[in-house]
Structure 1
């Protein structure tokens, strides 16, 4: 028997923040069943994935998020910056080995790097790996580059797009509630500013993805507000390609002292299910988030509303910095995992267009 709030969500009623909060407190198995029913009606048992890599071009960052174990301050003996040529060479090597279709460019706010650095890196990436899309940077870097160069968001995004950036990543979203952001990342841009960069990008035809990092200082109400704000922007712009949620991973970060234990996989499943019920086919692609939660949780997420496995994420360096072991997942491994769930694996490109079915 489904509750009134689940039935309302399943019927397509637009829920406010209070309604989403109520939904997030419902029975997990009922949420999963409702989300799975909705997902099946949209995707007919097909689960997509992309063969990609993460290009961590620098670990220098001045934002110093309390949950991040990857960053190093300027001048630290472990700090590094890859030159544009080094970055392009690394991408070419991974492409030669695995045939990637997406390069996720991820680093930090490095005060030594200006917009010209990113333009040169993107151009070289396009020269060396022309078949791979650049899914690059985040609103955090765009905001910094705008301030450094005294440019508007539109100017920065236009220059990055002209240099080769195809879509923009959703990093820095965390929880879009400023009270929470002041606790976990007091130097980071506000929730409104993050959403503003996304809205400008969408208005320019630059698609992005939406993210959420839960499991720290936020409440269930904060998670509901986060989802509602993403949904409201998507209604206006239709610019988000996908939604990915992951848990805060304690380990070597400062925030671990306050939140020493990670959330269970049940929180991921609940978040995925609620996201499916409120996003529906307006923001259809929901990833399983295997990197922080593991392959088994990712398998379950596909039963709770996720339709996309995500990427293979070759060369990822951020999660291992926490002390968590990150598995190497090949195209063949992903296909096997999806098939083991009785679902149809399909490889996609950066824009979620299916290019091969298995």
Structure 2
């Protein structure tokens, strides 16, 4: 037992805190540990790495289209081509929306998120990114995901590196982590049978990282997966991070049944305590190798996101103006402003700090 902090941690939790590497069996055992013990250990590491500082970013989501042919069973947002509710924003309209949000609130990042729309080619994305950069050079583009990269590569008969290079040349700053879900193919076939497999998702991420394009990692839990699958997912992410050091952050969120096809099989979401468990274990697995863990307020609510800051998270995420995917499930979302986030963080006795797209602190609100 180390004595640099008073604790009554179990052997697996103590191993996670003091030893660098865990295997999938260790990680699964962590997931089964006592929640408050996990929180205590995760909080210890988070304060060790970050002190009392909690970061956030003023940002928005640009849902440029809801047309998607992947038809994930967990998604209530997508519409097939030709559907009366289908839409695709023109480049001009998309830029106008981002500029309007920036004028009203002031943002540092736009997350460009949509679907696999067969009518869109790489020139659409290049035109969109170039127009955003020309109009709003101070706003970073955190855009697309490995799913779109794979689609564009197949559509244009290009390599992943060629697609990524063209997107970066047009203005994409970092690659989003969408489509990760659970990196176990049995699970992926059950919830999204037409989506790329786990190896492809990881391969595209590794390609981006080796080109100097950083990204974030994600996890969507609470559907048909097991704790063993959670452990495999975290293990595969940290193994890639050790090879490339290209992941800036990790975000987990629960499956929100709502109006999706998968709701027939999974009618209720998991409890908020599950998010705390996932966040805490992520901190114990990732430690400071993948340093930034978001608290994920979008599907779990502000109070739980606050609590996650005491269970291993060090980042509150963003303001997420204009997000449309989660409301499509029927879940109501609050509108967050910079001041709201600052007050939520201060309410825990922690210090808010505004960051940029690369998690560099811009301003501390003491």
Class of the TM-score when normalised by the shorter of the 2 chains: over 0.9
Matching of residues 203-222 of structure 1 within 5 Å: 203-222=210-229
Contact 1:49 1:348 in 2 (8 A): yes
Is 2:156 aligned against 1:149?
Answer: yes
Work out the CA distance in 2 between the residues paired with 1:47 and 1:318. Answer: 26
Q: Write the distance in 2 (CA, Å) between the matches of 1:308 and 1:13.
A: 22
2:192 alignment partner in structure 1: 185
Partner secondary structure for residue 33 of structure 1: helix
Within the alignment, does 1:106 sit opposite 2:129 as a pair?
Answer: no
Specify the alignment match of 1:283 in structure 2.
290
Give me the whole-angstrom Cα distance separating, in 2, the residues matched to 1:328 and 1:194. 32
Instruction: Assess if the C-alpha contact under 8 Å between 1:119 and 1:163 holds in 2.
Output: yes
Aligned length: 358
- In structure 2, the residue matched to 1:38 is 45
Q: 2:218 aligns to what SS in structure 1?
A: strand
Residues 306-349 of structure 1: per-residue CA shift (max 9 Å, x gap):
00000000000000000000110000000000000000000000
Output the CA distance in 1 between the equivalents of 2:228 and 2:20. Answer: 19
Classify the secondary structure of the residue corresponding to 1:293.
coil
Listed one character per residue, the Cα deviations across residues 15-68 of structure 1 (whole Å, up to 9, x for unaligned) are 100010001100000000000000000000100000000000000000000000
Q: By how many angstroms is 1:13 displaced?
A: 3.3
Residues 1:129 and 2:136 aligned together: yes
**Which residue does the alignment assign to 1:14?**
21
Aligned to 1:355: 362
Question: In structure 1, what is the Cα distance between the partners aligned to 2:92 and 2:79?
Answer: 22
2:258 to 241, 251, 265: 251
How far apart are 1:2 and its partner, in Å?
A: 1.0
Tell me the equivalent position of 1:316: 323
* Unpaired runs of at least 5, structure 2: 1-7
Deviations 1:137-175 (A, max 9, x none): 000000000000000000000000000000010000000
Asked if the contact 1:89–1:128 (Cα under 8 Å) also holds between the matched residues in 2, the reply is no
Match of 1:50? 57
Instruction: Quote the Cα distance in structure 2 between the aligned partners of 1:92 and 1:32.
Output: 40
Between the aligned partners of 1:123 and 1:75, the Cα distance in structure 2 is 28
Whole-angstrom distance in 2 between the partners of 1:12 and 1:132: 39
Q: Cα distance, 1:127 vs. partner?
A: 1.1
Which one of 93, 96, 99 corresponds to residue 92 of structure 1? 99
Question: In 1, distance between residues paired with 2:217 and 2:248?
Answer: 8
In the alignment, the residues of structure 2 paired with residue 13 and residue 318 of structure 1 have an alpha-carbon distance, to the nearest angstrom, of: 37
Deviations 1:182-229 (A, max 9, x none): 000000000000000000000000000000000000000000000000
Given the two structures, how large is their TM-score scaled by the length of structure 2?
Answer: 0.97
- Give 1:12 shift: 2.6
The answer to whether 1:196 aligns with 2:203 is yes
Q: Secondary structure at the match of 1:291?
A: coil
Within 1, Cα distance between the matches of 2:100 and 2:282? 36
Distance in 1 (alpha carbons) for counterparts of 2:174 and 2:211 = 11
What TM-score does the superposition give when structure 1 sets the normalisation length?
A: 1.00
For 1:211, what is the secondary structure of its paired residue?
A: strand
1:129 is displaced (CA, Å) by 1.1
What is the alpha-carbon distance in structure 1 between the residues aligned to residue 181 and residue 136 of structure 2?
Answer: 31
Cα drift, residue 85 of structure 1: 1.1
Ranges in structure 1 where 5+ consecutive residues have no aligned partner: none
RMSD of aligned Cα (Å): 0.4
Return the alpha-carbon distance in structure 2 between the equivalents of residues 120 and 326 of structure 1: 31
C-alpha distance in structure 2 between counterparts of 1:320 and 1:332, whole Å: 23
Q: CA deviation at 1:276?
A: 0.3
Within 1, Cα distance between the matches of 2:20 and 2:210?
27
